[in-house]
Amino acid sequence: VMSLLPCLRACLLVATLPSMFVLGSRNLGRKRGRGKDTPAKHPLLAGVVLDSAQHTAEVQKDNGDLLVSGETRSEHKRLQRGDAAEPTTFTDAGTANASAGTVRWPMDTERSWSLFEQHNKEDVQQEAAAQRQIDKLPTSLAPRLWAAIGPITSPARGMDTLKAFGDVRKILTEAEAILEEPMAAYLEEYEHVRHDLQSMGKNHTPSDIVQNMESSAKILDRLQNSLPYFAAEYGPMGKTWWALGDSNLSEKGVNIDFAAVANISGADIPDVKQIPAAGWAVGKIELSKPTTLLLRCSDSFLLNAELAAQTPDVYRERRAVTVRHLQQGEHRIFVRFQDTFSCDIFEDSAEAREKITGVTEQHSEDMFLVLWDSMMSQVVEGRLASPYLAIPVVNTMASAVVLDGAGLAVGQSSLALGVSPGQEEVILPPSQPYIFSFLFRQGVQNLTCDNKSLLQLVVALHSRDVSSNASKQMHVNVLTSCQQAASQGFIVTFPDYDGSVQNMWVAPPNPKALPGGACPKQGCPAILSSHGAQVGCGPNWGRSYKYTPEGFAYPAWLVQPTNRFQWGTDWEGPGYDDGLAALAYVSAQLPGISKAVRPKLGLDMDRILTTGHSMGGHGCLVYSVHDPDRLLGSICAAGWPSRMRYGGGAGSSPLTDVFEDGLLKAVKAEHAADYLAMNLRGVPFKVVYGSRDDSVPPQESRYMAALVDAFSGKTGSALIAEKPKAGHWFGQGDPELDGFFREHLVPKPGHVGSLVLPSLPWAFEFNVPSVGSFGTKGNLKVLQLIDAARPGKLFVRRCAKLTRPSGKGAVATCAVNASDVGGVGLQDPLWIVDTSNVRRFGFLDPPVRGRGLPQLIVVDGSEMTVSELTGRKHHHLCLVRQGNQGVVPLWKVCKSGAWEKLQRDGPQAGGGPYHNVLRKAKLCIAHGSSNGLVDLAVQLASKLYFVSRYDIPIVDASPGKVKVPSRCRFANMILIGHPRDNALLDRHRCAFAYVNFHNQSSSGFTLDGRVYRGAGIGLIGIGHLANGSLALVLTGTDGIGIARAADRVPVTSSRDGADYLVLGPDAGWEGDGGALAGGYLDHLWRPSRTSSWAEPE
């Protein structure tokens, strides 16, 4: 494999460069894509440090030009384990690399450079440049030896029983003092053995040295009884053990071998593989002077007495970087490891910045450390496809910093750059990551690219220290590539729903595939394509579909959003919203299309075909069940229907009763495509998978197809294509996909105008767990639920002929059912609709084009004319009286829109669960003045950036200091603290009317009749602001309680939740079982009588 790399470089160069990257000076510093930290092309490589979780080079060639590499199943499971820092989203095996090669390298080792050079020699100058970089590697300040306790398995639903016995840091620190003797003995013996082996002329590695050591192990064995131990389900003899870890032994990191320690003590261990290398580790950081540290660990970690665990670089992509300003002396780092772990800790310097981020030519004097995941559109036909630029940074100063301005230090005369509105108001606290956004302004003259079709710019950032008012200018190099024509697809940056700049791949319709060379008046349909995990934005995924020399092979737009990052949230929540925002942007702006062609190539938002692969196959299913009315079809490849089946998402908390557990897991229904499979009845649907897929098992696709068949009542409603002997990955130009695209996107001979939508079945069901994110079926839109914890359902029967029984008050009934075919655009005389858990619903206005509406509708026995509902603002159907024994429900046409601003789920008020605070709107965090709250705000902003590339302003809401940036005035808010120390929370108390905040934070709060004032109690809860935005409160009786609440913010797709949750003092070890109260709010924002609980503290 390695011998192929020089040959592959040339063909990869063009395929991998179209994405935009942060550079140092004029050198490509980091490439995004399939590999964990994949090398840039060598001619541009100056100073990149390469890393990966595994020292492998897995290169596979597929379809002639597509490089892919595989992830192991164990990696899947490792990433799914949750802990305080939530490093959990799915990975995908074998998905296509989006913008870089697939060579993988060990984390932070000089060997990576030597191995890279061995197989990528081009000339002496380049080799010498690489060696100079090795010579400049900074000195690591990470602990050489770690003291660890375990095995303690990965926290399940927040459970970590060690925390039941007090602060874990105290347990570790006290044990560390006892372990000083074996640690000193270990180092002494290590040097003796090393010297002996060296003197005998034997070649040796650090592992060889340890294998010849005996005395230090015996000392550790003797001290086991002097150290505290705890019951452990996987521990030999049923208890925890203490072990030492040496960071010098492996390029992969620190491996803690509890089985070896227990074996010395005589424990019977039938299978060492059953002893997990998981637990807590502590190490010392010794500083001889006050120091600014750059830290990056593979697992979540705590530094000294900080309240919250720091975000781990779980994917080893160099984006989770923590900055700390520490005093001289000893400091301790505590790691909650789940396997072999590693920590990079350096004193801030130019070399350290390059090593820890992979971005070259940074300077320690700069106020910002630059991260690699910048975004910029490609140049298409001499014009930027869109004007948006994003540069992620971390504040490395000990005080707050602002961006005063920006411009182009090196560019072209026709191009200017400015800061996006509101960015100069954002104040960055120390260590906060933030993505600054900028706008290009391009003149009449086209941009000129170099002979490699590249455009490189140098951006000047003008920053200012808020405390000292000192200013500093720094330069950041950015690079994009150029396309001669839009027809082959290109990268577009765009403002997402929250204002952050994200990117996508876009390919316009092929005019030669269009009747008359133009789209219909309403536009061409769109293929919404969702990628698999670890697949970035670029041509490898974008061009995995069929293209011809003239362009995209189909008369449709190809829109490939990114899920907000290559891992993201599994196309759930923010990732789902990102796809909708991408479609809307392309429809409105037609990026990359010249003015002359624009009138011919519109995008029709009422004609969508969904597709995707692997994690993107799950995304394909999610999009399909959410808004089936607009679908021309859905073809999902190698996808999994829900977390309830795939990846252990169905596990219940063993310490939570069934009722509470069910309430907290109710949020999963929104993205469980199997549970929502009935919504696909009538939609052309197909699954494609490889018979030997060992990443997403074939039964996942088969299961989904079986459900669609069952709900449709007809075998073959879902088409199945099993590719014999194929694995997880196959190109999206596969004949099975190509045939489906052509069948549902290419107009039939003689057809004029928009494509015809599939007919509605004569009977259908629409299942809606969350009203805010679901579209329509039959133009029926659910507006409000009775019980927010349960989905609302509409059961519809279309009638081709009605009859009206005699008698006063008799309602119309169905005489002849409508047919499954031939009903598109026609007006049925009558629909019979039965409801479950629906308070309000109506018809979409204006309706989906081509979907006919009935003349009459009978809802649970109440008859109304549809003309009363359509074309009239605010008119909808509302439940006046719920049915019960002996009483039928009563519905009527409601004409007022007052409820929309006041009630839960109102279009202008919004609703829960509290996950929705992170969705469909700008987001800001405001913290109070109490100790540690600004650090909690920064840690939360860091986590949100790492998972989904949020750029979140942090507002100091201390009394008397509040200055709200313009960007936050109509944003969703996360309010951290207590009304006493958070002036914004005090101002918005009414947003949380169901909570009575006591006068002092230590006095606690009252909720649902229960008083909570004990130590360590936290509250996370949703509220609605007067301006129509949502708010999330993170409060508690003390700092620990608030930190527990902050930890429950659902940053990843794995998090359960509700409208509110009270976390008791035992939640640290019981997980969900330690929750004292929680559940959902009713339509008047009060704790639901049917879907909430409250216990005394």
pLDDT in tens, 244-279: 999 988 878 999 989 888 888 888 888 877 888 999
At 158 the pLDDT is 67
Instruction: Give the residue from 635, 583, 599 showing the smallest Cα distance to 514.
Output: 599
Measure the CA–CA gap between 588 and 253, rounded to whole angstroms: 49
pLDDT at 101 over 50: no
Binning the chain into helix, strand and coil, the percentages to the nearest 5 are 25, 30, 45
Assess whether pLDDT exceeds 50 at residue 615.
Answer: yes
Give the span between the Cα atoms of 243 and 256, in whole angstroms: 7
pLDDT > 80? residue 817: yes
Q: What is the mean pLDDT of residues 116-144?
A: 61
- Residue-level pLDDT at 912: 94
> Which 3 state secondary structure label does DSSP give 603?
strand
Q: What is the pLDDT of residue 54?
A: 27
pLDDT tens for residues 839-855? 999 999 999 999 999 99
Least confident of 120-134, 403-417, 706-720, 747-761: 120-134
Burial class (CB in 10 A: 0-12, 13-18, 19+), 418: middle
The pLDDT of residue 320 is: 96
Reduced to 3 states (helix: H, G, I; strand: E, B; else coil), residue 785 is strand
CA distance to 372, 419, 530, per residue, from 17 (Å): 14, 25, 21
Q: In this model, does residue 111 exceed pLDDT 90?
A: no
Which is higher by pLDDT, 193 or 389? 389
The secondary structure of residue 3, as a DSSP letter, is G
Of the candidate ranges 137-141, 613-617, 742-746, 998-1002, the one whose mean pLDDT is the lowest: 998-1002
Q: Is pLDDT at 1073 greater than 80 in this prediction?
A: yes
Predicted local confidence at residue 44, as pLDDT: 20
Amino acid in position 893:
V
The answer to whether the Cα torsion of 68, 72, 77, 78 is positive or negative is negative
How large is the greatest C-alpha to C-alpha distance in the chain, in angstroms?
Answer: 109
Q: Cα(345)–Cα(138) distance, rounded to whole angstroms?
A: 10
User: Which pLDDT score is estimated for 110?
Assistant: 32
Tell me which of 43-57, 411-425, 679-693 is least confident: 43-57
pLDDT in tens, 64-96: 222 222 222 233 333 333 333 332 222 233 233
Sign of CA dihedral 396, 399, 402, 407: negative
What average pLDDT does the chain have? 86
The pTM is what?
A: 0.88
The least confident of 127-136, 201-210, 367-376, 417-426 is: 127-136
Residue 21 pairs in a beta bridge with: 479
- pLDDT over 60 (residue 234): yes
At residue 653, does pLDDT exceed 80?
Answer: no
Between 1006 and 46, residue with greater pLDDT: 1006
pLDDT (0 to 100) of residue 840: 98
Spatial separation of the C-alpha atoms in residues 601 and 521, rounded to whole Å? 9
Per-residue pLDDT, averaged over 599-613, amounts to: 97
* pLDDT band (50, 70, 90) for residue 205: confident
Residue 42 in this model has a pLDDT that exceeds 90:
no
Q: Assign 49 a pLDDT band (cuts: 50, 70, 90).
A: very low
Q: What is the pLDDT of residue 7?
A: 36
CA distance 567 to 86: 13
Beta bridge partners of 438: 389, 419
The predicted structure's pLDDT at residue 25? 32
pLDDT at res. 124: 52
pLDDT the model gives residue 99: 31
Q: What confidence score (pLDDT) does residue 219 get?
A: 84
Condensed to tens digits (0 to 9), the pLDDT of residues 515-528 reads 888 999 999 999 99
- Which SS3 state, helix, strand or coil, does residue 268 take? coil
Query: Residue 136 — very low, low, confident or very high, per pLDDT cuts 50/70/90?
Result: low
Burial 968-1003 (b: 16+ CB within 10 A, else e): beebbbbbbbbbbbbbbbbbbeebbebbebbeebee
106 pLDDT more than 60: no
Among 625-629, 649-653, 813-817, 1061-1065, the range scoring the smallest mean pLDDT is: 649-653
Q: Is the confidence at residue 880, as pLDDT, over 80?
A: yes
Q: What is the pLDDT of residue 400?
A: 97
> How many beta carbons lie within 10 A of that of residue 691, not counting itself?
11
Q: DSSP assignment, residue 154? A: P
Which tokens hold the place of 839? 């308070």
Residue 334 scores a pLDDT above 80? yes
How far apart are alpha carbons 865 and 858 in whole angstroms?
Answer: 9
User: What is the predicted pLDDT for the residue at 132?
Assistant: 53
User: Please, which pLDDT band fits residue 155 given cuts at 50, 70 and 90?
Assistant: low
Structure tokens at 813: 């009934």
Q: What's the mean pLDDT in 312-322?
A: 94
**For the ranges 50-59, 469-478, 901-910, which has the lowest average pLDDT?**
50-59
pLDDT of residue 63: 26
Mean of the pLDDT values across residues 217-240? 89
Residue 426: the pLDDT is 95
Q: Which residues pair with 679 in a beta bridge?
A: none
